[in-house]
Amino acid sequence: MTAIEKELLSQIGEELVDLTRFNLTVAAVSLDSSRNNLAASRLAESFNYILIDDGGIEIVANSYWTAIEYGLPVGTAVPIAALIEWAKRYRIKPKSGSFEGMIFNIQRAIIRRGTKARPFVEQTLLDADKQIGAYIERYVDLSLSLS
């Protein structure tokens, strides 16, 4: 892979990461505007890209993306430690009772009801097709004009 190709793929990778973050935020807000939009979430922060030797780009994220994309099925017990970290990060406090009681109740509610899916991957793939096409067209135009 040439330096120019690597630079082009890196630019595309950065755009794809931004696009993935954007679609995650849109998917989260579309269900309920009062909910956490995930824009500043650990999931959004984890998105990155890897250039593959064959010229491909792989978007990587922490494993939590599947819980957002597909939701959590009824019966899923989210670890208490993860719920405590989440509540502290977003400064969620109980209306009444203890913090620990609130966390326990949230865990029980997820076990009873699961969580709704907030799909963002499909839209990201559709948008990525458009973005990549635009980058390739710009690169080809630039290459031809430099010749």
62-76 pLDDT tens trace: 988 999 999 999 999
- CA dist 67 and 64 (Å) reads 5
* One-letter amino acid for residue 102 of the chain: M
How do the domains of the chain map onto residue ranges? 1-68+117-147, 72-115
- CA dist 85 and 90 (Å) reads 9
pLDDT tens string 20-44: 999 998 888 755 556 666 777 889 9
The DSSP bridge partners found for residue 48 are: 60
For residue 64, the model assigns a pLDDT of 86
Q: What phi and psi, each to the nearest 5 degrees, are found at residue 47?
A: -60, 135
Q: Which two tokens stand for residue 20?
A: 């993935």
CA dist list (Å): 58 to 26, 50, 119: 22, 5, 19
